[in-house]
């Protein structure tokens, strides 16, 4: 291949694959044939520009793989049906007090006794009576399944995209059935070895937290880490080091090189049979393959493994290969193996990070001084270069990450990982000797984590920006590349100017007397944001589940940050039910200065004041009135909900919580005369709410329902939908639309924006 040929082919192939990922829907796969013909004709007619044929080939390949992945998903007609599945556990199962969760690789499936064409991976929860689950075991299970479905909100993670990239075709839970049982299966598998090593570490490290961290470093087992651990990792910018990363695989390869060197030093005649450089290259590749297998072949490890394979094969064939060519060949291999890998943040962080190191980090000789210079310069380079991508994918970054990584990278790479590797080897060969090695590694991990917990409290550890626009992302990446170009490139400091659209995005705020409303997509629950010119109210925060998944942390806080808001003035929780109040503690801790009101303060996990009818205040020309419950509080039921009316110059909105038809007449009377309000439908559209008289009294101009997709309560109920339809009230459901935004201008009528799902159409959301 000509010089730079691999690089240009990789970029053209990547462009073709990315083009498909931007499509809102996939066309027929039959267009792959003319694309392939076009590519072949181009290669024949234009040999000098032959590399461009990789672009239509990338489009055709990504289209084919995307179509196959979407067709593999559970058909919509089968959602909510019980399917009998035979499959084997993939990865390491997670056992918690509330449920066991695991990934099941389908071998066969039946529906009503007939074979069902279902293949791929399922994410499954076993809620009650789950037996011990071991990796690679085979099971016959009755499952209630549905297609992957994401909560789509500003700043949220698109789990439907993640499911497509990981090959997840359905999610579900185990139904009680006498036929659920374990089947005969293989006696050995890689995941079984990973689990055995994890158990060996846990048995020899007495502190459970130290053992959990060491298991993550050793075999990528993150089951023992909780949300607080990941928060500390994000605050220090070291999430890529907690589970096995590409750098760990490189350390394993170096371990193989050293071992081969020791063999040749002990028995020099071996060089007569196989030259030492070739043997070292083969040993490096072998150790990298084994360690990548123990890591579960994640994308960062596969990327590094492919680069090591390119270098090793070049060394064995006595051919040279530059770092840029190795990186390009690794990208080509990954895109050919799985073009959907571009949907994973790790793909971009891995390749962009390594590309910046190759292009911008210049060698400074040898010795400790050069090593320290490259280490410090490399961390600064990675922090700045990956900042735009980190903000794009995760909505936050760490300004202390460069300093944290300056400590973490050498400690993890040259101390913790080698100790973990040596301890793993001893666990397999001589378990009693592994205890002191693992004890030493655990003490080092403990000291490092203690430092990280302190640094996580420093200013700038959690840095948020509004949702990043594509043009700002591209300009910032170009700016980072320009800033770190080699000496001699003129005006390198001007690269910082290209960061301004990223760091100082335009902000749109409501005028005086105007406000904006967001009904967030939190599944079966409620979370609402109301913003005036200078203030923000959060009304309800979604649920918190026994697994630890908190919608206050997963949806409400990211939405606030993505919308460019930095302060919450009032946190109001309608009542104490989990689907409304579960995330309140997280939001209250993030914004401790916020005033707190609740319909049932006694049921809250944080101190709150009682809301009562008659409470009122005004922000920026917008009036807020509490209509219910009556002073002194109500009964402990849904009618204790705080009912809030927000009135601006151009319209008003009623937030009724979960009130029933019993409380609706009093609320309708308290609303009083005025323009028809926008109504957040009471109790998610339950049959006990939204009475015909209530709808007739309010005459809402628009109704918004917050409900979960295919929720077990059947909300919103068909009879409720019929009442709104008969009254001529347009109704929109977050389960269908995603987050819904309504603008209440000072000089007009309320305007509903397209739902978040419709604002960002992608083929994997069909």
Residue 553 and residue 544 in contact, taking contact as beta carbons nearer than 8 Å: no
Q: Per residue in 386-422, pLDDT tens?
A: 889 888 988 888 888 878 888 887 888 778 878 887 8
The answer, yes or no, to whether residue 608 has pLDDT greater than 90, is yes
pLDDT band at 485 (very low <50, low <70, confident <90, very high): confident
Kindly report the number of other CB atoms within 10 A of residue 383's CB atom.
22
pLDDT band at 375 (very low <50, low <70, confident <90, very high): low
Helical spans, DSSP H, in 155-245: 159-166, 190-204, 208-219, 227-236, 239-242
CA dihedral of residues 278, 282, 283, 288 (deg, nearest 10): 140
Tracing tokens 């697994």 back to the chain, one arrives at 547
The answer, yes or no, to whether residue 441 has pLDDT greater than 80, is yes
Q: What pLDDT score was predicted for residue 484?
A: 84
Distance CA 700, CA 697 (A): 9
For the stretch 433-452, what's the b/e string if a residue is b when 16 or more beta carbons lie within 10 angstroms of its beta carbon? ebbebbbebbebbeebbeeb
Positive or negative torsion for Cα 746, 752, 757, 761:
negative
Distance CA 727, CA 700 (A): 9
If we measure between CA atoms, which residue out of 641, 658, 657 comes closest to residue 603? 641
Q: Per residue in 194-203, pLDDT tens?
A: 888 899 999 9
Q: What pLDDT score was predicted for residue 1?
A: 42
Distance CA 209, CA 132 (A): 22
Distance CA 49, CA 539 (A): 58
Distance CA 47, CA 530 (A): 60
SS3 754: coil
Q: Which two tokens stand for residue 179?
A: 């036929």
User: Which is more confidently placed, 254 or 466?
Assistant: 466
Q: Which two tokens stand for residue 124?
A: 């499954």
pLDDT band at 492 (very low <50, low <70, confident <90, very high): confident
Q: Regarding beta strands 595-598 and 609-610, do their DSSP bridges make them parallel or antiparallel, or are they unpaired?
A: parallel
Q: What pLDDT score was predicted for residue 310?
A: 76
Helix axes 159-166, 54-72, angle to 10 degrees: 100
If we measure between CA atoms, which residue out of 359, 349, 425 comes closest to residue 391? 349
Q: Per residue in 671-694, pLDDT tens?
A: 988 899 999 999 999 999 999 999
Largest CA distance in the chain: 98
Q: Which two tokens stand for residue 610?
A: 């009682």
Q: What pLDDT score was predicted for residue 2?
A: 45
The answer, yes or no, to whether residue 359 has pLDDT greater than 90, is no
Q: Regarding beta strands 616-619 and 609-610, do their DSSP bridges make them parallel or antiparallel, or are they unpaired?
A: unpaired
Share of the chain above pLDDT 90, in %: 55
Distance CA 498, CA 628 (A): 51
Report the chain's mean pLDDT, rounded to a whole number: 88
pLDDT band at 4 (very low <50, low <70, confident <90, very high): low
Q: What pLDDT score was predicted for residue 635?
A: 56
Strand partners, 610: 598
Residue 151 and residue 523 in contact, taking contact as beta carbons nearer than 8 Å: yes
Q: Per residue in 56-75, pLDDT tens?
A: 999 999 999 999 999 999 99
- Measure the N-to-C terminal CA separation of the chain; round to a whole number of Å: 41
Average pLDDT on 646-650 reads 95
Helical spans, DSSP H, in 205-245: 208-219, 227-236, 239-242
Distance CA 722, CA 727 (A): 9
pLDDT band at 117 (very low <50, low <70, confident <90, very high): very high
User: Between vectors from CA 384 to CA 565 and to CA 471, what angle results, nearest 5°?
Assistant: 60
pLDDT band at 191 (very low <50, low <70, confident <90, very high): confident
- The 3-state secondary structure of 561-589 reads HHCCCCCCCEEEECCCCHHHHCCHHHHHH
- The 3-state secondary structure of 254-273 reads HHHHHHHHHHHHHCCCHHHH
Q: What pLDDT score was predicted for residue 300?
A: 65
What's the DSSP call for residue 554?
A: I
Q: Per residue in 32-58, pLDDT tens?
A: 998 888 888 877 778 778 888 999 999
pTM of the model: 0.89
Q: What pLDDT score was predicted for residue 247?
A: 63
Q: Which two tokens stand for residue 206?
A: 């007495």
The answer, yes or no, to whether residue 586 has pLDDT greater than 50, is yes
Residue 52 and residue 12 in contact, taking contact as beta carbons nearer than 8 Å: yes
Pick from 477-491, 513-527, 665-679: least confident? 477-491
Q: Which two tokens stand for residue 753?
A: 């924006």
Tracing tokens 């607080």 back to the chain, one arrives at 228
């Amino acid at each position: 291949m000509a010089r730079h040929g691999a690089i240009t082919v990789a970029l053209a192939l990547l462009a073709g694959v990315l083009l498909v990922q931007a499509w809102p829907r996939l066309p027929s796969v039959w267009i792959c044939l003319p694309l392939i013909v076009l590519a072949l004709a181009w290669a024949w007619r234009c040999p000098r520009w032959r590399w461009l044929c990789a672009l239509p080939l990338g489009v055709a390949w990504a289209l084919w793989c995307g179509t196959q992945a979407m067709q593999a998903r559970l058909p919509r007609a089968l959602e909510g049906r019980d399917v009998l599945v035979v499959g084997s556990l993939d990865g390491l199962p997670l056992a918690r007090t509330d449920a066991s969760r695991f990934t099941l690789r389908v071998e066969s499936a039946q529906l009503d006794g007939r074979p069902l064409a279902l293949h791929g991976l399922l994410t499954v929860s076993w809620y009650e009576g789950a037996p011990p689950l071991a990796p690679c075991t085979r099971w016959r299970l009755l499952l209630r399944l549905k297609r992957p479905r994401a909560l789509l909100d500003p700043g949220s993670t698109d789990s439907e995209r993640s499911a497509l990239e990981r090959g997840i075709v359905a999610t579900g839970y185990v139904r009680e059935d006498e036929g659920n049982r374990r089947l005969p299966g293989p006696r050995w598998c890689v995941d079984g070895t990973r689990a055995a090593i994890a158990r060996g570490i846990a048995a020899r490290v007495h502190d459970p937290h130290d053992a959990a961290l060491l298991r993550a470093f050793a075999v990528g087992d993150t089951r023992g880490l909780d949300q607080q651990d990941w928060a500390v990792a994000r605050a220090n910018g070291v999430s890529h080091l907690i589970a096995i990363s590409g750098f760990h695989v490189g350390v394993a390869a170096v371990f193989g090189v050293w071992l081969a060197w020791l063999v040749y030093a002990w028995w020099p005649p071996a060089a007569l049979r196989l030259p030492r450089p070739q043997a070292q290259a083969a040993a490096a590749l072998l150790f990298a393959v084994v360690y990548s297998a123990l890591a579960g072949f994640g994308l960062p490890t596969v990327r590094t493994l492919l680069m090591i394979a390119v270098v090793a094969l070049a060394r064995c064939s006595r051919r040279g290969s530059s770092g840029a060519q190795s990186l390009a060949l690794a990208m080509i291999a990954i895109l050919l193996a799985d073009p959907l890998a571009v949907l994973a943040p790790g793909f971009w962080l891995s390749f962009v990070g390594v590309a910046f190191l190759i292009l911008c980090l210049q060698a400074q000789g040898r010795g400790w001084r050069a090593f320290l210079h490259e280490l410090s310069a490399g961390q600064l380079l990675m922090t700045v270069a990956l900042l735009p991508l980190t903000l794009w994918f995760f909505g936050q970054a760490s300004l202390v990450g460069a300093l944290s990584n300056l400590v973490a990278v050498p400690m993890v790479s040259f101390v913790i990982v080698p100790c973990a590797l040596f301890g793993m080897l001893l666990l397999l060969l001589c378990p009693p000797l592994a205890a002191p090695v693992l004890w030493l590694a655990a003490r080092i991990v403990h000291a490092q984590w203690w430092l990280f917990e302190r640094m996580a409290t420093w200013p700038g550890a959690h840095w948020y920006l509004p949702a990043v626009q594509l043009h700002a992302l591209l300009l910032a990446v170009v700016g980072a590349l320009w800033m770190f170009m080699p000496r001699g490139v003129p005006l390198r400091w001007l690269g910082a100017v290209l960061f301004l659209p990223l760091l100082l995005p335009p902000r749109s705020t409501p005028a005086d007397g105007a406000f904006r409303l967001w009904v967030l997509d939190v599944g079966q629950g409620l979370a609402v944001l109301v913003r005036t010119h200078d203030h923000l109210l959060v009304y309800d925060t979604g649920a918190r589940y026994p697994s630890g998944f908190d919608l206050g942390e997963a949806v409400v806080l990211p939405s606030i940050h993505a919308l460019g808001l930095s302060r919450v003035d009032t946190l109001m929780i309608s009542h104490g039910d989990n689907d409304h109040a579960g995330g309140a503690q997280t939001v209250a801790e993030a914004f401790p200065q916020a005033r707190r009101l609740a319909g049932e303060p006694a049921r809250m996990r944080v101190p709150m004041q009682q809301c009562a009818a008659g409470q009122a205040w005004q922000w920026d020309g917008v009036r807020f009135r509490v209509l219910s419950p009556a002073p002194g509080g109500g009964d402990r039921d849904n009618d204790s909900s705080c009912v809030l009316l927000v009135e601006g110059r151009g319209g008003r909105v009623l937030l009724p919580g979960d009130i029933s038809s019993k409380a609706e007449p009093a609320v309708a009377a308290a609303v009083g005369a005025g323009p028809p309000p926008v109504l957040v439908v009471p109790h998610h559209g339950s049959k006990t709410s939204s009475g015909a008289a209530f709808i007739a009294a309010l005459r809402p101009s628009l109704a918004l329902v917050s409900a979960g997709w295919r929720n077990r309560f059947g909300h919103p109920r068909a009879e409720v939908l019929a009442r709104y339809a008969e009254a001529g009230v347009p109704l929109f459901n977050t389960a269908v639309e995603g987050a819904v935004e309504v603008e209440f201008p000072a000089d007009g009528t309320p305007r509903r924006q397209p739902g978040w799902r419709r604002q960002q159409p992608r083929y994997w959301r069909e």
